Structure 1
Amino acid sequence: MLNLWYKNAVLYCLDVDSFRDSDGDGVGDFRGLADSLDHIEALGATCIWLLPFYPSPNRDNGYDITDYYNVDPRYGTLGDFVEFMQAAQDRGLRVIVDLVVNHTSIDHPWFQASRAGDPKYKDWYVWSKDKPADAESGIVFPGVQKTTWTRDAKRGEYYFHRFYKHQADLNIDNPAVREEIERIMGFWLALGVSGFRIDAVPFLIEGLTEADGSRDPHRYLSEMRQFLAWRKAEAILLAEANIPMDEADDYFGSGDRMNLIFNFPLNQRLFLSLARREAEPVKSMLKSLPDIAHVGQWATFLRNHDEIDLGRLNDEERQEVFAAFGPEKSMQLYDRGIRRRLAPMLGGDRNRLANAFALMLALPGTPVIWSGDEIGMGDNLELKERDAVRTPMQWTAGESGGFSSAARTDLVRLPPANGPYAPLHVNAESQRMVDGALLTTVEHLIRIRRACREIGWGDYEVLDLEAPSVVGLRCRWRGGEVVTLHNLSEHPATVDLTGVVEPDKVRHLIGQETDFAEDGARCVMRLGAYGFDWMRVTG
């Protein structure tokens, strides 16, 4: 029987370099991470997703890799990684790692050999003698990136880079490259990881063809999954794939491709709902989600380590979200996104933050939490591009937030120095033992979410409650039933639950500012401002 552990998992994403520094050099490391796992365990997360930690020139937060089989010396050694893995296993925590194989750093020995004409590596990258006519189209980072083809003086040809020019795209069409990718996967599986988050999946497979031009590029995803199942049956593939819903089947397959796919379209509609304080954008998106194989699962999230990508909203909708959450140009990025953390976008309102977390955890799928959001960390807009949301974890009220003993100027990235989101005001230590603090609220929500297996495993129904600000969902699985309600408005809302639940046949699991009200034969619930309620139907 398949172990579908990810169906009811809670993922916690972190960057090793900004989580905890054990040796005082200003950079987080695996020893610091291993010593801080109690926080993740207490939060209730079941799986850690590590951002890239491989050797890198670090021009793109580690996504420009020079060695897939090692650990960046700033973070420790392979031995330190193994010790961390053992510490995670001792706490019952799984670990997945980033698999970034659509490109490498131009400093990678493979690229250096390719540009030098080494016969073994000559065709490991995508080269062209002439600059293609479409070199200025398909740019991923408008305003920062100028082209997708750059001339290499040594080889005298142009190399393709879907992203920055220091990240040359691997030639996935080359069987030797695909064989090397399997070798990389096998290496980290042997060290105990439970799977991979695959970076930029649509771009990874975009160049795949067969000799007759008939190849379906998505078939490669089946090959990756087949290798994974052969090496470690319960390991998973989590796809970063910002795709329209009509392409979902291509990526999930019949259950033989991606286990999890980030639901970017739902995330964008969620922020539109939050901006409008109206339920309809989320409800309509949920109603339009396609049926997927039972072993497949969407991954839901509020924020992550990148910008909020609003590219699938129309221009008017995007401007609504900008106006609500990123009105200043310095808060926006790539003409499509917002580079802010969740807490400042929601004005630091503890009730609104709790409501947002509750809604995300109630959505069908596997929830993913970005490190620091559980305590309401802020951003540092003085940092470049996406670094604004990648500031060090704030453990204590000290100047560096307890992240490191190094001088503030030596930190890998600077946390906010002043204001309501500085470590003095926002840190894990001050919230850990306080009832009603954001951290303890999120911990409670996660415990309840893990107990509500109906949400992760079951079928869901979007409830039409005639309350414009309320998202209502009903999930059923193996005879169990859970109903969740979330009021996105700053004003109280009244919900008619007649025919949905009966007051004497529900058990309240968690909620804030809610109560049933007597209203004749009707079943009515009042939700306070940003109020929510989760109920288990008992009979």
Structure 2
Amino acid sequence: MSIREEGTKMSKAWWKSSVIYQIYPRSFADSNGDGIGDLNGITEHLDYLKKLGVDVIWLSPIYKSPNDDNGYDISDYQDIMTDFGTMEDFDRMITEMHKRGIKLVMDLVVNHSSDEHRWFLESKKSKDNPYRDYYIWKDPKDGKEPTNWGACFGGSAWQFDETTGMYYLHCFSKKQPDLNWENPAVRDEVFRMMTWWCEKGVDGFRMDVISMISKDPAYPDGEIKDGLHGDMSPYVCNGPHVHEYLQEMNKRVLSRFDLITVGETPGVTTEEAKKYANLDGSELNMVFQFEHMGTTDGKYGKWTTRKPEMKKVRAVMNKWQTELEGKAWNSLYWDNHDQPRAVSRFGDDSPMYREISAKMIATCLHMLKGSPYIYQGEEIGMTNAYFKSISDYRDIEAINAYKEYTESGLMTEEEMLNCLKMISRDNARTPMQWDDSANAGFTTGTPWISVNKNYTQINAKAALEDKDSVFYYYQKLIRLRHQYEVIVEGVFHGLLEDNDDIYAYERTLGNEKLVVACNFTNKEVSCELFEENEGEELITNYKNHVAGALQPYETRVILYK
């Protein structure tokens, strides 16, 4: 049952059946030997992504930036970072994507800019500068910061500026001052810039921390949770005007083009998501939620060595499936540039089970309702880097957290390094492993961050030569989503929700029923879900099955008509 024929015009909701592939440009492919991935490197590998079968590429920021937070600190929204190439390189890249039927989603980072952006350079000159209110400035309170808020990358969320004797808000790095969305001039600038990119042919936006663009006007102190700073999240996430701003964005920009839009929404609930991603199309197509990522959080937030418990993850995923049914659209992901590697976190990256568990977690995700995201290297089963020293890390968040927690005595150096091995964002940012040559074929120079040592065994060249590889399994999952309407539109219903080992569910559409079962353990477990010799097996990661059981990390998908 085909829901999309090649060459026909896609419907307005083309994104519903699409599979999105995220590229982190700095780590994807280096074409000029400087050790940093670039736009021409991406263009050179588009045939690989065409072969995989993805519909959309989401590109992490490529704009001009001093690179304090790897491009998420933008100094010019309409120019390209020198490390990545030129605007001519961009134009060629998007043309080549479109030739192959692949659409491009740009990262939109408009909660904050770089402190080197022209707007901020003007803003801090004086209190009466025309750009002053482009940012959030506050007077000291009792000789200290305006609030006790801690920034996401450590330290205070407020930075004192000597010139005017006031503090500016930065929810992330001090080099990422927050934009003041209450100022209509800021919104005008953002919408003008977005329109410019749409007219260049961009097919959508992934909106960085978009739930944070409206702050609580009272600016109250936050509850101290990490022993160091107040929690700002209740006062900067899902603020009073966020939906008003996004509806304005939709009217002025998004509704004028045929786009795919996803909002990264820290602190989002299912109720809020129904507003952000409502099916009337007045805001965004879908949101990224983080609840399943937070199931391992502990005393110090994300900094923990806990492995996710499948039952907790399943409860969150199923809640989002059922509560958004018929009301909003889901986005589906296990990892991205801000998360550790999927197979290391949710699967088993040991040599015995890496490939089989990578296929299992992929099946579990891709058969759910929503738009699946694949992060570069996930399709070949790339793993965490497990760096041994803090000197191996490049991420500002990891480096700041290590310094803050070890110097305060809250953790030893060994404890903090163990946390980083499990959860650091740099695990996802090691270079893409193309082949078994020097530096995994990523660069002829010195890579900006070390290549994972397992690249000689785990690489795209080896995957393409093996018919049973993780790559071809992902290719089949993508093909199935394009082929079967029940995978796109079927109603979700959880199964075996008290089982400690198996994540199972069904999807129904008309007379069709899809039954999915995934064993999240390294042992054989009893499973009576499938009626033998009935139904069509669409995909599995084992050649032979055991009656009434699932083998270690086994998954099966059966279609009944």
Same fold (TM over 0.5): yes
Q: How does 1:70-469 map to 2 (within 5 A)?
A: 70-117=79-126, 119-131=129-141, 135=146, 137-141=148-152, 144-206=153-215, 216-232=241-257, 234-242=258-266, 243-253=268-278, 254-268=280-294, 275=307, 278-279=310-311, 281-283=313-315, 285-287=317-319, 289=321, 291-292=323-324, 294=326, 296-307=328-339, 340-345=340-345, 346-348=348-350, 349-380=354-385, 381=387, 382-384=392-394, 385=398, 386-406=425-445, 408=446, 411-416=447-452, 418=453, 421=454, 423-464=455-496, 467-469=499-501
Q: Is the 8 A contact 1:252 1:293 kept in 2?
A: no
Tell me: CA distance 1:280–1:12, structure 2 relative to 1, closer, same or farther (3 Å).
same
Q: Is the 8 A contact 1:114 1:124 kept in 2?
A: yes
Secondary structure, in 3 states, of the residue corresponding to 1:68? strand
- AA matched with 1:217: V
Q: Is the 8 A contact 1:14 1:49 kept in 2?
A: yes
- Measure, in 2, the Cα distance between the counterparts of 1:157 and 1:72: 31
1:394 is displaced (CA, Å) by: 1.1
Secondary structure, in 3 states, of the residue corresponding to 1:49? strand
Q: Is the 8 A contact 1:106 1:112 kept in 2?
A: yes
More strand by share: 1
Tell which deviates more after alignment, 344-353 or 6-15. Answer: 344-353
Identity %, equivalent residues: 29
TM-score scaled by length of structure 1: 0.82
Within the alignment, does 1:489 sit opposite 2:521 as a pair? Answer: yes
Q: How does 1:471-510 map to 2 (within 5 A)?
A: 471-497=503-529, 502-510=531-539
- Measure, in 2, the Cα distance between the counterparts of 1:535 and 1:230: 39
Q: Is the 8 A contact 2:496 2:502 kept in 1?
A: no
Q: What RMSD, in angstroms, separates the aligned Cα atoms of the two structures?
A: 2.8
1:263 is displaced (CA, Å) by: 3.2
Count of matched residue pairs:
482
- AA matched with 2:256: R
Q: Deviations over 1:364-407 (max 9, x none)?
A: 2111111112222234432132334211111111221111111x
1:359 is displaced (CA, Å) by: 0.8
- Measure, in 1, the Cα distance between the counterparts of 2:308 and 2:175: 40
Within the alignment, does 1:528 sit opposite 2:551 as a pair? Answer: yes
Q: Deviations over 1:195-244 (max 9, x none)?
A: 111111221122579xxxx9643221111222234420x21220111312
- AA matched with 2:557: W
- AA matched with 2:506: R
- AA matched with 2:202: V
Secondary structure, in 3 states, of the residue corresponding to 2:444? coil
Secondary structure, in 3 states, of the residue corresponding to 2:163? coil
- AA matched with 1:341: R
Secondary structure, in 3 states, of the residue corresponding to 2:253? helix
User: In the alignment, which residue of structure 1 is the partner of 2:409?
Assistant: none
1:277 is displaced (CA, Å) by: 6.5
- Measure, in 2, the Cα distance between the counterparts of 1:459 and 1:237: 23
Q: Deviations over 1:13-42 (max 9, x none)?
A: 111122111122222111111110111111
Unaligned runs of 5+ in 1: 308-339, 518-523
- Measure, in 1, the Cα distance between the counterparts of 2:295 and 2:154: 27
- AA matched with 2:259: A
Tell which deviates more after alignment, 448-457 or 19-28. Answer: 448-457
User: In the alignment, which residue of structure 2 is the partner of 1:324?
Assistant: none
Within the alignment, does 1:17 sit opposite 2:26 as a pair? Answer: yes
Q: Is the 8 A contact 1:11 1:46 kept in 2?
A: yes
Secondary structure, in 3 states, of the residue corresponding to 1:483? strand
Tell which deviates more after alignment, 440-449 or 27-36. Answer: 440-449
Tell me: CA distance 1:215–1:203, structure 2 relative to 1, closer, same or farther (3 Å).
closer
Q: Is the 8 A contact 1:55 1:65 kept in 2?
A: yes
Secondary structure, in 3 states, of the residue corresponding to 2:272? helix
- AA matched with 2:251: Q
Within the alignment, does 1:3 sit opposite 2:12 as a pair? Answer: yes
Secondary structure, in 3 states, of the residue corresponding to 1:178? helix
Unaligned runs of 5+ in 2: 1-9, 219-238, 299-305, 399-424
- AA matched with 2:361: A
- Measure, in 2, the Cα distance between the counterparts of 1:80 and 1:288: 39
- Measure, in 1, the Cα distance between the counterparts of 2:145 and 2:211: 18
Tell which deviates more after alignment, 221-230 or 429-438. Answer: 221-230
- Measure, in 2, the Cα distance between the counterparts of 1:236 and 1:480: 28
Q: Deviations over 1:93-122 (max 9, x none)?
A: 111011101111111111001111373312
Q: Deviations over 1:414-434 (max 9, x none)?
A: 213x3xx2x222211111120
1:455 is displaced (CA, Å) by: 2.5
- AA matched with 1:245: T
User: In the alignment, which residue of structure 1 is the partner of 2:226?
Assistant: none
Q: Is the 8 A contact 1:401 1:424 kept in 2?
A: yes
